[in-house]
Structure 1
Amino acid sequence: MLVLEFKVRAKKHQYTAINQAIRTAQFVQNKCLRFWMDNQEVNKYDLNKYCRVLAHNFDFANKLNSQARQSSAERAWSAISRFYDNCKRKIPGKKGFPKFKKNGRSVEYKTTGWKLDLNTRKAITFTDKNQIGRLRLLGTYDLNFYPIESIKRVRLIRRADGYYCQFILSIDIPVDTEPANSVIGLDVGLQYFYADQNGHKINNPRFLRKGEKKLKKLQRKLSRKKKGSSNRRKARQRLAKAHLKISRQRKDFAVKLARCVVHSNDVIAYEDLRIKNLVKNHCLAKSINDAAWDQFRLWLEYLGKKHGKITIAVPPQLTSQNCSNCGEKVKKSLSTRTHICACGCQLDRDENAARNILKLGLSTAGHSGTWLQDSLNALGEDTSTFSGEILSKQVASVNKESPVIATRGA
């Protein structure tokens, strides 16, 4: 799948119509969720049928395109199925019971309800009864390069700085990647974003911390404005744009760094961290969320699959405590930044953890080339290999997990 995004230019009444379509999509999603709560043995096909009932009972729901209503029902079913999966897997803690959506920001159309300008493909017209009409598309992507049939879904999204239109295309662009003949183990942290087994470290950008002074100033200005006034709406808009900028900075950093790691290595091992549990520490919650480790991991896995590289999530238990040289457990607090073992091994704490993570990852993968065997020997690890073979060609599955993770249901 390929997602192309354009900024939307329209008139004021068209923006109002888009907002109405977004509210209707939110209404349909919440009504489908309520229908599932009130009736037993409801499946996704029943929710799609229920959309016709909603269109018959509510005039504003009938104005939304039928397939757009079905997309909202599919969103509701996505939350329901995720809850079912978590229950079946018996994950610890809360299972993620579906919640009603309070602030919808998007509406999704399928193959009907819209028409792309065939001449320039720089404009799109929505043909349902919401009367959104023709919208101009601003962006550098060229839709003429793709056939119209490949566009499977179209989304209208409202953000703090305006409205956007996304095209979801059913196209897989092949990527030819040369083997890098290198492996890497990543230990993420707060002092540094990550450290690898060779001691190389990437500084933590701390976008929220750097922009916190401006955010607090904008928040104070917002709190002084009279509720319901035009000035309060403008102050809220400025605050939302500041938060959006920080969010985009985080995403840009994660994407670029993940791309560099994937291009430079054939095997990437990292910790299978549960961020939800880590942020329960209120002293570190803000810094952990600011680091956005989970976003970095998602892009690692996506780009790894796209480029034919191996990404391995390993259990994080004792990776910082065990010695990477002899395996002996050396207890240390978070403030202790140097690993010192009785065997004579003295390393930076994060570098020691990265070596342990890479060992676990390579023992899980169990694949090779002569360059991988050299890496294993350097870490003191032995495994069976096939000399002279490219690692990516020996592995049927690109993304792997440690058997330890599977047994504990992570």
Structure 2
Amino acid sequence: MGNAQSPPNNPRYVLASRAFTQKELQDLNSLFDSLASQSQSNCNSISLSVFQSYFKLHGPIGERMFDLITQERKDQSLTFEDLVIAKATYEKGTKDEIEEFIFRLLDVSGDNFVGRSDLESVVISIFNDILCIKDPEVTSSSQQDIVNIFLNAANLSVHDEGSTEETLSFEDFRGWCARLPSVRKLLGSLLISPDSGRPGSRIPNLLTMKGIDSNIILLRKEYAWHIGGALSQHELEDWKLLYHSAVNGHSFNTFLGHISNHAGPTVLIIKDKEGFIYGGYASQPWDRHAEFYGDMKCYTFQLNPVASIFRPTGANNNLQWCAVNFTSEEIPNGIGFGGRVNHFGLFISANFDQGHTFSCSTFSSPCLSNTNRILPEVIECWGVTQGEAQGKNDAVKGTVLERFKEDRNMLNLVGLANSSE
């Protein structure tokens, strides 16, 4: 049995065991004994199949993780010392140690290079074997397209003589994880029991309007998982579709009307006529302002043809923009994120028929589309349910547009607004 109290012989185990409390070691010992008893190994080790079944790590990721934990001995036997050493490095090590472990995990082929084929195997395994996102109506080519948008976020820049394909350097791996926080969260939590709520594995429950054709919805489960990588667990429960331009019409006032009763954050998604899909997470409700507002929880993202998230850098506070019925050229009517006036990171005009996207220091984000000019084809807005945020704005009565009327007189006093309903 895996006796945590027995005299250790392995110096690595001695060092690793110091990362745990006595209670944690006892819990690990109990887990090991339970799994070893199922492994037909006289309770001395854990087999690959039992390991995969308990941690729900099937496919290439599960095999590679088992290989790393067993220190690549290829003997198909995971000992108690192996488990303690791996968890001490993977879960309690320094940031560099943890990321080095994850980087090695990506090398599913075991050839000491992380190439595009390795990343492809990992992403497919995440969707099919861990998240179990399997839609029978989705074709294999469509599924491959989704896999590719995650691969496109990787900068495969290193060319080694021993590799037949472009490979990923460790620094580029870190950049890939920064752009895909959902991937980083999940790959950093695979030795946590899935039943205890493994970080990075939750996909929001997407609630749509009754009778709406699912084929017109932009927000796929894979996209929602990606966007949610920058959010806390309590923001990943229910996301409700508040507005869809194909159903509700291309109207800014209609948009505001449909979202006015939602007090929490929203996810704005745009598909333009170039076929690019991108948007932003608005941490504050869309409400009329004469200047930028919002907080550092805002971020922008890309969904297609590349998946990336761009969080605030702290360079400025130009986070959210929502202006309606202003006549000053210095206050463009519409909604947006980041950048500066008339040079936003992302902006859709109040006519909802055009907009623009530029690189901006607010999020250190590039132009989100193929060109700076945006011609929207589809606009969606989802309300993020937050239990603790309910009732937050109960004291503010009326719709967004009605509240705009209430503050118009005050804005007129400083020459910023004009009634042009």
**TM-score, L = length of structure 2:** 0.24
Higher relative contact order (CA 8 A, sep 6+): 1
